[in-house]
Amino acid sequence: MIWTSSSITNLVLCITRRKIGIPLASSYLNAVRSNLDLLSYLILSRAPNTLVLFPLKFHLYSTTVIAPLHNSLETGQHMLNSRKYESVVLSLKNRLQSGFCNEGNVKSAFEVIARMIVSSFMPEERTYSAVITAYCKMGLLEKALDIFKQAKAKNMCMDSETSSELIEGLCGVKRIEEATEMFYYLTGKGCSLSPWALSMLIQETCLVGKVCEAVKLHSKATSNGIFCTPMAYATIMVGLLNLKKEKDLLPLLAQMFTKGCILDGPTYATIVCSFCTKSTIREGAVLFNKMIHDGFFPDSKMLEMVVFNTTASSLLNKVVHSLIKVINQAGLLNPRICNTIIYGLVKEGYKHEASKFLDQMLENGWVPDPQTHGLLVGNVNLEESDETGESHENYFDDRVSNILAEDPPSSDTSPQVHVDLQFGSKYLMYKV
């Protein structure tokens, strides 16, 4: 029988799918053993979702593959040149132990490792990585750490999966200081981490109150090309807000948005509201626009906070298009907010935009409050109003008695007075 790569693959697939038994498979594989190239293919090739030898029983490994290879080495009966043969044996053993570890069979993996050492083949980095990963997945963290110490003594670098499992394991049992030390060691060796492992470390670090340390971890990871999840970003930001370090959020936000990440709605709301101060309102306006662009809408309380604070800083025009979108899609509107928006936009010279909100206000059956009404008809001197520190928030009662500048007509038959306003080329009219 002539063995080809295709026929070996089909054989292994039949074994994995249990279409043929182990004894029959053993006889087939014995025939393959005399051809190093085909044997190498059998060892190193992959079947769907698994290395091809891993589904076989351990005795099949021992009797069909490992033992004959050992015998050949011990008797000097090399099938081709010895270097290539030894390379195949080493690859086989490393893949065998990796496969056993992936299946949670660490005992068999250690048996393979022992045979490697007896045959003067020292385990390589992926051997240690596989064993450590297996122990972590089995919840045997202390054993995993013992193997890690052995690898560390040999100056080895763990793969990304192993590094991540170690960090997650330590974080899971709240050994944050050890996890942090391991993080710096692994990144210093050039090892990588999964975004989830890094995020877990950052979140746990913030939870124990070490927000500044979390920022350092994030900075170190970023310099090594490791990036965290949006949730980790959010955790750091909320921690910084609690420390009253709003300005320190800006670099994180810029980096996050540059990478295409977005915040969740609650985090957006927390940060925007925290930025509604005199010193950070400009950044708050930008972030509010980003929030609306990403599809998150504020509640009425947050909307009022944004409107009032941008109005006080004459920055309402910076968020007007987002406000229009909020009103059109979320329907968040009341007389108090409408009056503030109209008043603020007219003050800032944006009469056309103010007219849209006045239209909406009148359609809902509301009328401007006294101060807004006075501004619209030209009876309020903006400069005098600003100099006296007159606050528009004092006029937010939408009762008709406060809306009218004069006493209402005493009779239903009294003539109605119409006020015509012209914003650009558009006329607006409401009854007073």
- Is 314 found in the same domain as 413? no
Boundary (domain end) residue, out of 93, 123, 153: 123
Instruction: Answer whether residue 342 is part of any domain.
Output: yes
User: pLDDT tens digit string along 187-246?
Assistant: 998 888 999 999 999 999 999 999 999 999 998 998 888 888 888 888 899 899 888 888
Q: Is 162:192 a contact under the CB 8 Å cutoff?
A: no
Instruction: Answer whether residue 273 is part of any domain.
Output: yes
Instruction: Answer whether residue 251 is part of any domain.
Output: no
Please tell me the predicted confidence (pLDDT) of residue 121: 54
Kindly list the distances between the CA atom of residue 303 and the CA atoms of 69, 88, 266, 268, 298, in Å, as whole numbers in the listed order.
Answer: 74, 68, 14, 13, 6
Q: 20: Cβ–Cβ under 8 A, 6 or more apart, which residues?
A: 11, 14
How many degrees, rounded to 5, is the angle at CA 285 between CA 281 and CA 291?
135
CA distance 21 to 34: 22
How many distinct helices (H) and strands (E) make up the chain? 24, 4
Q: For the chain, how many residues are written?
A: 432
Task: Provide the residue type at 399 as one letter.
Answer: R
- Is 119 found in the same domain as 9? yes
Angle between helices 351-363 and 335-347 (to 10 degrees): 160
User: pLDDT tens digit string along 239-283?
Assistant: 998 888 888 888 888 888 888 888 888 989 999 999 998 889 999
Instruction: Answer whether residue 204 is part of any domain.
Output: no
How does residue 154 score in pLDDT terms, banded at 50, 70 and 90?
A: confident
Instruction: Answer whether residue 186 is part of any domain.
Output: no
CA distance 232 to 196: 9
- Is 283 found in the same domain as 363? no
Please tell me the predicted confidence (pLDDT) of residue 105: 53
Element housing 46 (H / E): strand 46-47
> Which residue range forms the structural domain that includes residue 315?
262-322
Instruction: Answer whether residue 241 is part of any domain.
Output: no
Backbone angles phi, psi at 388, to 5 degrees: -80, 0
Kindly list the distances between the CA atom of residue 77 and the CA atoms of 73, 119, 130, in Å, as whole numbers in the listed order.
Answer: 6, 15, 31
For residue 21, pLDDT over 50 is answered with no
What distance lies between CA 259 and its chain's CA centroid? 10
- Is 58 found in the same domain as 99? yes
- Is 312 found in the same domain as 284? yes
Boundary (domain end) residue, out of 94, 123, 152: 123
Q: 260: Cβ–Cβ under 8 A, 6 or more apart, which residues?
A: none
- Is 47 found in the same domain as 5? yes
Long-range contacts of 151-157 (CB under 8 A, 24+ apart): 151/125, 152/185, 156/125, 156/128, 157/125, 157/186, 157/189, 157/190, 157/191
- Is 344 found in the same domain as 305? no
- Is 383 found in the same domain as 276? no
For residue 122, pLDDT over 60 is answered with yes
- Is 349 found in the same domain as 318? no
Instruction: Say how many domains are in the chain.
Output: 3
- Is 119 found in the same domain as 82? yes
User: pLDDT tens digit string along 337-365?
Assistant: 888 999 899 889 898 888 888 888 888 88
- Is 340 found in the same domain as 315? no
Instruction: Answer whether residue 98 is part of any domain.
Output: yes
The pTM score is: 0.60
Boundary (domain end) residue, out of 280, 297, 322: 322
- Is 426 found in the same domain as 362? yes
Instruction: Answer whether residue 409 is part of any domain.
Output: yes
CA distance 377 to 374: 5
Please tell me the predicted confidence (pLDDT) of residue 13: 46
* 29-38 average pLDDT score: 47
